[in-house]
Amino acid sequence: MNQKKEMTPLREMHERFRERLAVGAFAGKEVWCFGHADATLQLLRLFDVAGISVRGILDNNEAKQGQVVCGVPIVAPEAFLRRETAGTVVCIVSRAYAAMARQLAEGGFRGTIEKLADYNTFAAYSLHEDVRKEKAERLERGRALWRTLRQEHPAPFYFVLPFAAIGDVCHAMAYLDAYCARAGIRERCVVVTGEAERQTVALYGDDDVVCYPQAQMDELVQGVMADRPGDVRIVHHDRPYSNYMIQLLRTTFLPFDAFYRCGVYGLPQNTTPARPVHFAEPEDFHGIVPGRTVILSPYAKSVAGMPLGFWEAEAAHWQAEGNLVYTNTAWGETPIPGTRPLDVPVRELGPLVKRAGTFVARRSGLCELLDGIPCRKIVYFPDVHYSDTPWHVADFFHMPGWENIVVREDGSKMDAGNMGTFHAAKDVDF
């Protein structure tokens, strides 16, 4: 299964980077990035391969400022703007592009800005008649798609999961039955983007699942947000799809799960989440030795990555202990050197991980997907804070029942402890 056929923001970043590199957009300039996130770390690697040094990463989160990631310091934008900025280029790969660009402009930035991915397809930065016409046409396409959806998949209620993100889908589905029971909804249609996400919904027992490419989903969502029909709910934890509960994170710690349970669905804190159980038994176990195999999952969309060389060392460690080591490559990724690729549908991952005996992952949606599988489960977190909050990602995305480990910039490891207690972390030796 190769999930990368559709143009995703990260694929778009790779292509735009190559295009801008070819025309000399970075030649002779001091290069900076804006926003410490996984996409930015991937961008750093692209610059490294191209032989271009990145001077720093701008970030408004005071808790991140002063840290060094991949050898690059994180700097407050205000400090950067006090320097001479002519001859600099700031690269942005973020949904917050408009706000970041505005902040630079208002601060007197004199360099150039490179937007390397269009995360926000709703946004328009011009009032030109052509732009207004294009946006109006887009809205009408979204409305037409809704009419088609209702005709082809008639249902009393529709739940729209707007992004290709397995973790978000898992959280959305975990509380969907409880929400429907409280709301008196007996039948429903779930709408997703991405084949892996469609399979994930099916793991919770939903048969009526409609899957659209991200571009069509964006138009669909725009049509819903414009007309606000009473028989549909956009299920996502962040604005503008949900309430503004996520703003509480600036002052109050809440685990990620709470934003779906309470913020999206308004359910009580003690609501028991459902788990994906309808896995398909694979016909081929790909040579996995029961109890003596480790499956690595080093890739993720939202949580920042580990230091360079970390996963190579991790694979070598498990191999030295006599294990077969695989890399999950279901989205077309490159296997960690020395490991075997494992490219299987999402619906087969559960039985394979159970057979292997050990699952080692960078924090991603696969952790939610495989949470109920009986095996040894280890999850790694980068030593960073979540977004612009004072909370560490190891607290916000903590996995109860897993071995939660924080990885420092130098590759050393710390036990993250229990949720909300990362400040008490202890060194561990693996």
DSSP assignments along 167-225, one per residue: HHHHHHHHTHHHHHHHHT----EEEESSHHHHHHHHHTT---EEE--HHHHHHHHHHHH
- 102-124 per-position pLDDT tens digit: 999 999 999 999 998 766 555 55
- 199-231 per-position pLDDT tens digit: 999 999 998 999 999 889 999 999 999 999 999
Say if CB 99 and CB 77 are below 8 A apart.
no
- 367-383 per-position pLDDT tens digit: 999 999 999 999 999 88
3-state secondary structure of 121: coil
Q: Does domain 293-427 have CATH number 3.40.50.2000?
A: yes
Say if CB 165 and CB 365 are below 8 A apart.
yes
Kind plus residue range of the DSSP H or E element containing 90? strand 88-92
Beta bridge partners of 113: 90
The reply to whether the predicted model has a pTM over 0.95 is no
Structure tokens at 325: 């080591």
Residue 401 gets the label, from left (phi > 0), alpha (psi -120 to 50) or beta, of: left
Backbone φ, ψ for residue 344 (5° rounding): -135, 160
Q: Which fold has domain 9-115?
A: Rossmann fold (3.40.50)
Structure tokens at 385: 């804070």
Give percent above pLDDT 90 in the chain.
65
DSSP assignments along 36-48, one per residue: -SHHHHHHHHHHH
Beta bridge partners of 378: 360, 403
Q: Give pLDDT, residue 127.
A: 55
Q: Give pLDDT, residue 131.
A: 67
**427: pLDDT strictly greater than 50:** no
Amino acid at 417: G
The domain segmentation of the chain, as residue ranges, is: 9-115, 129-264, 293-427
- 385-399 per-position pLDDT tens digit: 887 678 888 999 999
- Give residues with Cβ within 8 angstroms of 411, minimum separation 6: 306, 307, 309, 310, 313
Q: Give pLDDT, residue 38.
A: 74
Kind plus residue range of the DSSP H or E element containing 294? strand 293-297
Structure tokens at 148: 């088609």
> 293-427: same fold as 9-115?
yes
Structure tokens at 298: 């080093």
**341: pLDDT strictly greater than 80:** yes
Q: Give pLDDT, residue 2.
A: 44
Which of these, 416, 382, 383, lies nearest to 400 by C-alpha position? 416
Amino acid at 224: V
- 272-302 per-position pLDDT tens digit: 999 999 999 999 999 999 999 999 999 887 6
Q: Give pLDDT, residue 8.
A: 62
- 231-276 per-position pLDDT tens digit: 999 999 887 787 767 778 878 888 899 999 998 999 999 999 999 9
Q: Mean pLDDT for the chain?
A: 88
pLDDT: which is higher, 339 or 41: 339
Which of these, 15, 49, 220, lies nearest to 117 by C-alpha position? 15
